[in-house]
Amino acid sequence: MTLSYTAEHEELRGSVRRLLAEQAGSAQLRQLIDSPEPYDASLWKTMAQELGLHGMAIPEEYSGSGYGFLEQAVVMEEMGRAVHRSPYFSTVILAATALQLADQEDARARWLPGIASGETVGTVALAEADGDWTAPRVATRARAGDGGYRLHGTKHFVTDGAAADLIIVLADSDDGELLLAVDAQDPGVTVADVPVLDQTRPLATITFDGAAGTVLTAGARTREVLAGLLDTALAALAAEQVGGAGRALEMAVEYAKIREQFGAAIGSFQAIKFKAADMLLQLEAARSAALYAARAVAEDAADRTVAAAVAKAVCSEGYFAIAAESIQIHGGIGFTWEHDAHLYFKRAKASELLFGNAGVHRERLARQLGWTA
């Protein structure tokens, strides 16, 4: 397995970085946070229709480009670098992947072209009150009735839930566990935004009271799809964390070169040099783990689940440590609203917890490998 991106990947990276720098910089991000809009709809369409970012890993028969997860990982890394606020992770990584892993051709034909074109925003609702995205216990129920299933229950911590047109929901039923597609406009769906630490990634609580659901998977097949979806989500988040960590380190180094104390730039002080060196080591470890996981997911490798879990653990801890040290190097200004360093710190902490922190995935791997009782 080659642990590097190709020249074509780097060209894609440059295109995404330029677009985000021009249209999704710090000033635009702050305006978006203060506005009632969940994301920049104009930029969302540009990303989908001019750069083709939404449909890269969607097959051509559904209006996509037919590439793969490596391309998505490059985009996620650049979005992490910009602390970008959009439903790309929820829609393109989660919802589109779930649709492609599931068995229903009708659902793919209905929803994937809209995702590729930027017309449809999607999300996946897995976690419940305990905040466990592996969902060992599913309280949400799907009851069979005339014309299909009706959903009853509440899902928590749903990424971009308030912006979604399509919600893919995990529920239990008399026929076993189901994965269902739900139209967010169904009158049985109630969405409530929740207060968040990271204002660049909105979360919602979604309550279902008789909402109609279209079955995507049933029985044992549901857990197979969820396993693949979780691996993809973890690898994507790891790539995003690497992007954010890299930018946080750059900001710290840039500041250390210009901030003076005792007549010298603080970057010349041994203590700051040691901090920066440790940050670089953590970044390179995270970068390697994330790239290995991205290739494992792209190639559906046998160690895909291990690679994705390890990457999420390493990148979660690395990003948070780097963002925290960046705050220290910046001093008091770093955690003020006027400075961008605090945006990376908050994203680092929030993404560490999203889909499970390092401890969750280490314990999960230990159980799989038989290292625990």
Model pTM score: 0.96
Domains of the chain and any CATH numbers: 123-219 (2.40.110.10), 223-368 (1.20.140.10)
Q: Are 90 and 121 contacting, i.e. CB atoms less than 8 angstroms apart? A: yes
Q: Within 13 A of 262's CA, how many CA atoms are on the CB side? A: 4
Q: Are 124 and 94 contacting, i.e. CB atoms less than 8 angstroms apart? A: yes
Specify the DSSP element, H or E, that contains 367: helix 358-368
Q: Are 88 and 47 contacting, i.e. CB atoms less than 8 angstroms apart? A: yes
What's the rounded Cα separation, in Å, for the pair 31 and 311? 32
List the pLDDT tens digit at each of the 373 positions of the chain.
Answer: 567 889 999 999 999 999 999 999 999 999 999 999 999 999 999 999 999 999 999 999 999 999 999 999 999 999 999 999 999 999 999 999 999 999 899 999 999 999 999 999 999 999 999 888 887 789 999 999 877 899 999 999 999 999 999 999 999 999 899 999 999 999 999 999 999 999 999 999 999 999 999 999 999 999 999 999 999 999 999 999 999 999 999 999 999 999 988 889 888 899 999 999 999 999 999 999 999 999 999 999 999 999 999 999 999 999 999 999 999 999 988 888 889 999 999 999 999 999 999 999 998 888 877 776 5
Q: Are 236 and 313 contacting, i.e. CB atoms less than 8 angstroms apart? A: no
